[in-house]
């Protein structure tokens, strides 16, 4: 009677005996390996319904309508590309030879110098970096350059537009011996191939590290006539008039370095 009551708890739930045969551990053989894939074994994975195929086809048609047709590149067929675009394969040496023969665009009065039209403003980062790189290339070659900052004097911008015949002109633009050479990309290419040093071989050299004491290599100084105010007093008429010796910013070219 005591033994039978020991098999029960006070809550009335039956309790297994201490040495029950049901608790005996037996070695259970693992199930044989299945040759089915994980997706086949998982019962929750089902084949997509027809509605999914329907929307997939609609998306494909919409993509074909929105995408522009791919244009075949002329460089896909190499023999045809070589015959159709022979000018692209010309080396940088052809630029030097064409420069010796002369270009059609000329800047009058600059046959004895190097002229660089650039801007010192940092409004457009790419333009400022190109202008700075071209200026550093010529300074590294130790040649004197007539630097014309279009942001300091509007007359230089108008002069460049009239010479090139365009209103929208990218900067920088380089003229050597009065002949138009090009922009930053061409100057960098000529410098890397060594052609630029050959073109500038006849120009006098300047000493490195020399800075103009008058303008600090800015190329402009305040006008001495109006002190940069752009106004002068006319004693005869008793009124203020526009100074005719400076530009729109009240500046004049430095006489020491320009």
* Residue 60: per-residue pLDDT: 62
> 207: Cβ–Cβ under 8 A, 6 or more apart, which residues?
142
* Residue 198: per-residue pLDDT: 93
**Most confident option among 83-87, 91-95, 254-258:** 254-258
How is domain 90-199 classified at the CATH fold level? Answer: Glutaredoxin (3.40.30)
Pairing, β 114-118 against β 173-176: antiparallel
Average pLDDT over residues 64-91: 43
> Which of 13-22, 56-65, 184-193 has the lowest average pLDDT?
13-22
Please, which pLDDT band fits residue 189 given cuts at 50, 70 and 90? very high
* Residue 234: per-residue pLDDT: 87
> CA-to-CA distance for 228 and 251, rounded, in angstroms?
6
> Which of 93-107, 122-136, 150-164, 183-197 has the lowest average pLDDT?
93-107
With 80 as the cut, is the pLDDT of residue 26 above it?
no
* Residue 74: per-residue pLDDT: 39
Average pLDDT over residues 165-193: 94
% of the chain at pLDDT higher than 70: 60
Using the structure block, give the residue that is written with the tokens 């410098």: 191
pLDDT tens digits for 198-252?
A: 999 889 888 877 888 889 888 999 999 999 999 999 888 889 999 999 999 999 9
With 80 as the cut, is the pLDDT of residue 49 above it?
no
Please, which pLDDT band fits residue 7 given cuts at 50, 70 and 90? very low
In the chain, where are the structural domains located?
90-199, 220-253
- pTM, rounded to two decimals: 0.61
């Amino acid at each position: 009677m005591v033994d039978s009551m020991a098999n029960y708890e006070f809550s009335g739930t039956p309790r297994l005996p201490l040495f029950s045969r049901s608790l005996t551990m037996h070695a259970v053989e693992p199930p044989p390996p299945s040759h089915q894939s994980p997706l086949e074994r998982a019962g929750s994975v089902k084949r997509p319904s027809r509605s999914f195929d329907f929307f997939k086809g609609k998306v494909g048609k919409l993509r074909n309508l929105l995408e522009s047709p791919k244009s075949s590149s002329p460089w896909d067929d190499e023999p045809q590309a070589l015959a159709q675009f022979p000018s692209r394969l010309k080396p940088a040496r052809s630029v030097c030879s064409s420069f010796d023969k002369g270009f059609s665009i000329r800047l009058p009065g600059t046959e004895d110098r190097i002229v660089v039209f650039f801007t010192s403003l940092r409004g457009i980062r790419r333009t400022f970096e190109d202008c700075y790189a071209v200026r550093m290339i010529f300074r590294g070659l130790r040649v004197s350059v007539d630097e014309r900052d279009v942001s300091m004097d509007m007359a230089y911008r108008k002069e460049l537009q009239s010479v090139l015949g365009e209103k929208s002109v990218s900067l920088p633009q380089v003229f050597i011996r009065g002949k138009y050479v090009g922009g930053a990309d061409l100057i960098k290419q000529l410098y890397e191939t060594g052609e630029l040093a050959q073109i500038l071989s006849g120009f006098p050299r300047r000493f490195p590290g020399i800075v103009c004491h008058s303008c600090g290599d800015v190329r402009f100084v305040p006008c001495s006539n109006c002190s940069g105010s752009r106004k002068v007093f006319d004693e005869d008429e008793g009124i203020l008039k526009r100074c005719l010796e400076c530009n729109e910013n009240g500046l004049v070219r430095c006489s020491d370095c320009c």
